[in-house]
Amino acid sequence: MPSGRKTLHFLVSALVTTAGAAVLGYGMSAEWAISKMECSAQGSSFFNGSATVQLGLFNGFLIKSDCPSFGSTDKLDVLKKLGVVGGAPLILHGIIIGLLALSLLSSACTILITLYNSVSNPYETYMGPLGVYTCSSISAVLSFLALILFLVNMLVVGVPQELVQENVAVELQNENVTMQVGFYMLIPYLVTSLLAILSVYLYEHMAYTQRKEQQRPTEDAPKEIMMY
């Protein structure tokens, strides 16, 4: 049976990872960004209209006002719309979703390994601390990459503009992008992945220090005493 200290550290790691996975799951279903821009008919310099894109990973809304005429509010199936747009917006969006799905899978592996270690005593195997370090590191790295790629897709590739122009030719300018709760949920998720590593590392460090202290009396004893 593992010591109480080991059980505590691995259970803490399991709990923070579970909390992080719940945060990411909620974030994936929430709104990620709102983009507002001025709009005019193609070839016109009179920007009297506006378009607003409320964007999540899977669903969103496209709100138009005099863009180029009248107004409308359309619900977006983001993957379907990006499938029509194609190219870099679709590819990057698909990669982002894939990275987040793999992050959740890695978190699930971390939870299983930490729970296993809280009731058993394996050492020096992939089911021990090394497994926690690996899975949690993968979760942190993949979520960070997803965060960066979403920024690139929004600010560089211009997904909101592509969605506005997907079925009507208009001129757009002065876009203002504001990140929303879904995007920011990646930050606490990344932090919980690092905390899971820290909890197990602290246990390993204390266990290593304790073993070294137990060996020290024998190492420091005089040779005459050790002979008897």
- Using one digit for the tens of pLDDT, what is the confidence trace for 131-178? 899 999 999 999 999 999 999 999 999 899 888 888 778 888 888 999
Residue 227 lies inside a defined structural domain of this protein: no
Q: Which residues contact 191 (CB under 8 A, 6 or more apart)?
A: 20
pLDDT digits (tens, 9 = 90+) for 4-45: 777 888 889 899 999 999 999 999 999 999 999 988 888 777
Residue 221 lies inside a defined structural domain of this protein: no
Assess whether pLDDT exceeds 90 at residue 195.
yes
| pLDDT the model gives residue 184 | 95
Assess whether pLDDT exceeds 50 at residue 227.
no
Look at the chain and report how many structural domains it folds into. Answer: 1
Assess whether pLDDT exceeds 60 at residue 49.
yes
Check: CB of residue 147 under 8 Å from CB of residue 37. no
The rounded distance, in Å, linking the Cα atoms of 75 and 156 is: 24
| pLDDT the model gives residue 47 | 82
Residue 226 lies inside a defined structural domain of this protein: no
Residue 32 lies inside a defined structural domain of this protein: yes
| pLDDT the model gives residue 226 | 43
Residue 81 lies inside a defined structural domain of this protein: yes
| pLDDT the model gives residue 228 | 38
* Amino acid (one-letter) located at 117: N
Check: CB of residue 215 under 8 Å from CB of residue 207. no
Residue 207 lies inside a defined structural domain of this protein: yes
Residue 225 lies inside a defined structural domain of this protein: no
The rounded distance, in Å, linking the Cα atoms of 209 and 14 is: 24
| pLDDT the model gives residue 225 | 45
Residue 65 lies inside a defined structural domain of this protein: yes
pLDDT digits (tens, 9 = 90+) for 200-216: 888 876 755 666 666 66
H/E element, 170: strand 170-179
CATH number for the domain spanning 103: value is: 1.20.140
| pLDDT the model gives residue 4 | 74
Assess whether pLDDT exceeds 70 at residue 221.
no
Give me the mean pLDDT over the 49-71 stretch: 88
Question: What is the span of the domain harbouring residue 130?
Answer: 4-216
Check: CB of residue 120 under 8 Å from CB of residue 130. no
* Amino acid (one-letter) located at 201: Y
